[in-house]
Amino acid sequence: MFEGIDLSKINLNEMMGQMNQMAEKAKDANSKQIFTAKAGAGMISISINGNSEVIDLQIDDSLLEDKDSLNILLISAMNDVIKQAQNNQKNMAMNMMGNLGSMGK
């Protein structure tokens, strides 16, 4: 498991500093990401940033008189865009974990 790693060369303070830097870079990059989902053939469009903050919402005027359809399409688009952001966060975390293997070499 630790093959190729010279444990005597590992500086835990330096490693923690590197991990914190990586986490800050990932957090900053994530906040700049924009995810968009559409529902109802584009009648609803919602965009969020990587922090899951809604930054844009478009609703076709024809849906304003059909509350049930509006609710269904909003929920669908919101769930889709949240999944996109969550998948991105998972991928970023996996990339960070992969980069930890290069520390201490």
- Average pLDDT, integer, range 93-104: 70
Q: pTM here? A: 0.72
The DSSP code for 10 is -
- Of 8-17, 23-32, 67-76, 85-94, minimum mean pLDDT range: 8-17
Q: What percent of the chain has pLDDT over 70?
A: 84
- Please tell me which residue, 102 or 71, carries the higher pLDDT value: 71
For the chain, domain boundaries = 34-99
Could you give the residue ranges of the DSSP H alpha helices within the chain?
12-32, 67-100
Give per-residue pLDDT as tens, 67-97.
999 999 999 999 999 999 999 988 888 887 7
Contact by Cβ (8 Å): 104, 9: yes
CATH number given to 34-99? 3.30.1310.10
For residue 1, what pLDDT band results from cuts at 50, 70 and 90? low
